[in-house]
Amino acid sequence: MGLAVPPATGAWRDGDPAGGRHWFALPGPLALEAGGTLPDARLAYETWGSLTPDGSNAVLVLHALTGDSHLAGPAAAGHPTAGWWDELVGPGRPLDTDRWFVVTPNVLGGCQGSTGPSSPAPDGRAWGGRFPLLTQRDQVAAEALLADALGVERWALVVGGSMGGMRALEWAVAHPSRVGGLLVLATAAAASAEQIAHASTQLHAIRSDSGWHGGDYHHLPPGAGPHRGLGLARRLAQITYRSETELATRFGRAPQAGEHPWRGGRFAVESYLDHHASKLAHRFDAGSYIVLNEAMNAHDLGRGRGGTAAALRRVTAPALIAAVDSDRLYPPSQQAELATHLPHADALRVISSPYGHDGFLLETGQVAPLLAELLPGAHR
């Protein structure tokens, strides 16, 4: 696949280069929605710009499933990939770091510096299969503690797409007084049956890998972990992230260069999926993939709040909901439902893209005006 034998886990581990990360240790055990607590947890996060003395210029940007805190900047020691929204962050850009203090945490349960299955438990061994079930509400509770530590009483804007959009919504519903503006892209009020089906199939692929060992594989040598199952999960996911039109236009039935599918070789689209599978196995942790997908499956803004409409009525911030017109994983009907129940008129925006769900990451030229609508003086 073009890369070396995958490690047992692609997680960031203590002793690896810190890169741009900072760390926040939660002040005590975190009470979890499903019961019990998570002790000794920490969040890795990155910042750009400076916080004003009154703390009024802070922007929270929340990443999607396999993203991390590296919102902007090149790939470097400690950061296996370049910033996932690099074009939007920096002086003179929509998230102008001469004006705004931009914060991106690695989600609790993740694998790029925050506490997750690859992290040491209190006994010194990796949490592995012992790591507890998390929900979006637990993750936002940890992020609220981070905000306290940073001196941010109220975010000027909370932004997120896909899984990050779930957390952005949870922020606005659970902490309405702390959210001054809300931009949510390509997400839903609750995970649908189809989304749960897609995710659970991917998790079965990981758990069926002989290298899974019940989640306790982090001590194994390269090649011995569940990289095959994680790779299959990524292949399944990648198909849902892109549109049928894009795959057809980009690949069609073309063979991979130098290969002949009718003689056992690969089609070009198969090579594309293989590439993404290998990349993820080198930079992500299979246990985190399971923990985060299970949290996404549990996502339901209306749980215990009287339903979706009642939950969204708690939102007090100016809000925009953005749909990607070709998204087949989080179809525009889900964003339309969100916009309908928000207490603000004209909340729905549509990003036109051939790329499907990944359009919210790739169509930065269409995301920039949405940021400008919610951040006074932002650049388009």
Residues assigned a catalytic role: 162, 327, 357
Written as one letter, the residue type at 111 is C
| Structure token digits, residue 316 | 């007090």
Count of CB atoms situated within 10 Å of the CB of 23: 12
Angle between helices 286-298 and 227-241 (to 10 degrees): 40
User: What H or E segment, with its residue span, contains residue 116?
Assistant: none
Q: What is the DSSP code string of 24-85?
A: EE-SSPEE-TTSSEE-S-EEEEEEES---TT-TTEEEEE--TT--S--SS--BTTBSS--TT
Q: Are 238 and 280 in contact (CB under 8 A)?
A: no
* Alpha-carbon distances of 228 from 7, 8, 209, 223, rounded to whole Å: 11, 11, 7, 9
Determine if residue 245 is left, alpha or beta; phi over 0 gives left, psi from -120 to 50 gives alpha, anything else beta: alpha
Q: What percent of the chain is helix, strand and coil (3-state, nearest 5)?
A: 35, 15, 50
The residue type at 317: A
Name the nearest CA neighbour of 295 among 192, 163, 142.
163
**DSSP-derived secondary structure letter, 101:** E
Q: How wide is the angle at C-alpha 164 spanned by C-alphas 163 and 169, nearest 5°?
A: 100
Local structure of 309: helix, strand or coil = helix
Q: Which tokens belong to 233?
A: 């999960």
